[in-house]
């Protein structure tokens, strides 16, 4: 199990430009056979703060995702509108309730 | 739909003290009737960085959670070991793939 939070910070005026790119990325990623969950949310307090909440089986599955045609084509187009670098948190351990 | 990411930053030497408190909080919260999802993960790069990934039906459900006996008793005990303030992100809009 590998959970990922990937946070993008986009210039406010560029949000209408990145939304169709994000939608294509989400649809194509959810169609990947190794994708368990891939949601893209918007911070209620900042419309330029986009948060991916992801789940993959393991690091190898995430590496395959980052090498896909849709990822390598769309992510640079999105990142051209960044106001700050992406923040990535990888989590492979859960504090369970046992 | 309300998604929440709540990030706690705990002094490394206090991690063994907070783990049982976190486990009790997770178990009690998952038993709340309005809780949709409530996972607590650990940052692979920082064992004192704890990340709640939550889902609630709406703000009222989250407000009820924050008023529960287990929340109001356990969270101050956990926060006594913080190395930095909690960071909370509320997200009620999803960039869907439509």
> Residue length, chain B?
98
B19-74 residue pLDDT tens: 999 999 999 999 999 999 999 999 999 999 999 999 999 999 999 999 999 999 99
State the CB neighbour count (10 A cutoff) for residue A10.
23
DSSP string, B2-30: EEEEEEEEE-GGGHHHHHHHHHHHHHHHH
Nearest to A93 among B23, B30, B41 (CB): B41
Residue B96 — very low, low, confident or very high, per pLDDT cuts 50/70/90? confident
CATH architecture assigned to A2-91: 2-Layer Sandwich (3.30)
With CA atoms as reference, the chain A residue closest to B94 would be A41
Extents of the domains making up chain B: 2-89
Cα–Cα distance between B8 and B50 in angstroms, integer? 5
- Cβ pairs A/B, distance under 8 A: 80
What percentage of chain A has pLDDT greater than the value 90?
97
pLDDT in tens, A22-67: 999 999 999 999 999 999 999 999 999 999 999 999 999 999 999 9
What was the ipTM of the complex prediction? 0.94
> Under CATH, which number does the domain B2-89 receive?
3.30.70.100
Q: Which residues of B61-95 are buried (b: 16+ CB within 10 A; e: fewer)?
A: bbeebeeeebbeebbeebeebeeeeeeebbbeeeb
């Amino acid at each position: 199990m590998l959970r990922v939070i990937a946070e993008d910070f986009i210039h406010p005026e560029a949000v209408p430009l990145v939304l169709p790119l994000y939608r294509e990325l989400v649809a194509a990623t959810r169609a990947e056979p190794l994708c368990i969950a891939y949601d893209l949310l918007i911070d209620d307090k900042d419309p330029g703060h986009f948060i991916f909440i992801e789940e993959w089986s393991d690091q190898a599955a995430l590496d395959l995702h980052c090498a896909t045609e849709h990822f390598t084509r769309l992510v640079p187009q999105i990142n051209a509108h960044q106001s700050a670098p992406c923040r990535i948190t990888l989590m492979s351990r859960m504090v369970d309730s046992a």
